[in-house]
Amino acid sequence: VGGEGGGRDLVRPAADDMFRLGTSEAVREAVTQRRTVREFTDEPVDPAAVRRAVAAAVTAPAPHHTTPWRFVLVESQAARVALLDAMREAWVTDLRADGKSEESIAKRVRRGDVLRNAPCLVVPCMVMDGSHTYGDARRDAAEREMFVVATGAGVQNFLVALAGERLGSAWVSSTMFCRDVVREVLR
């Protein structure tokens, strides 16, 4: 009180601020608060929060200084419906080929409706840009596995960051079973 200086003098440099990232308990809580949501509210999602979550996602470790992931935000309702309809059709085709009954197929396909009611749809994709080719099956398979693991780490970062934003999420792996359909619909 009554001294010289301003507010800037009261701000600690980041290196000296023991609480700039919160407590270790808060960080652990963000990780453990991540849950799979099976029903979303109709509250709008702040696009900036999703972008912050993507920014956190891409800090995951990756091989060879690459970025083996892309996070595709499917913004238009028409694109979302087209993607989800095409994925459903591919899934039904696979289930019929497996000999599943129409009743069983309808039950399984209904589980994917969580995506139709989500206020935001983000599709994580793995890309092999920057991967190495060794010329033998064992090492080439290990290279791909490294990229798969890195992409999984990116997805986990994304989901935890959404939890830190107090947003629910549901990771549904359906896109992995119909990659060609997803590529075609999303171009």
Distance CA(12)–CA(162), nearest Å, equals: 28
Burial of 4 (0-12, 13-18, 19+ CB in 10 A): exposed
Its sign, for the CA torsion 99, 103, 104, 108, is positive
Burial grade of 18 (CB within 10 A; 0-12, 13-18, 19 or more)? exposed
pTM: 0.81
- Return the pLDDT at 121: 92
For 94, other C-beta atoms within 10 Å of its C-beta total: 13
- Give the integer Cα–Cα distance in Å for 91 and 172: 13
Where are the strands (E) in 28-162, listed by range? 69-74, 121-126
What is the model's pLDDT at position 13? 78
Q: Of 1, 3, 176, which Cα lies nearest the Cα of 90?
A: 176
Q: pLDDT value at position 167?
A: 92
Q: Is 159 within 8 Å of 25 (Cβ atoms)? A: no
Rounded to the nearest 10 degrees, what angle do helices 137-164 and 47-57 cross at? 140
**What's the pLDDT tens digit per position in 126-153?**
999 999 999 999 999 999 999 999 999 9
The pLDDT value recorded for residue 21 is: 58
7-186 CATH choice from 3.30.428.10, 3.40.50.720, 3.40.109.10, 3.40.50.410? 3.40.109.10
| Distance (Å, whole) CA 104 – CA 181 | 23
Domain ranges in the chain are: 7-186
The whole-number mean pLDDT for each consecutive block of 10 residues of the chain, a chain of 187 residues, reads 70 68 72 85 92 96 94 92 94 96 94 87 94 96 96 95 91 86 91
According to the model, what pLDDT value does residue 187 have? 87
Amino acid identity of residue 28, one-letter, is R
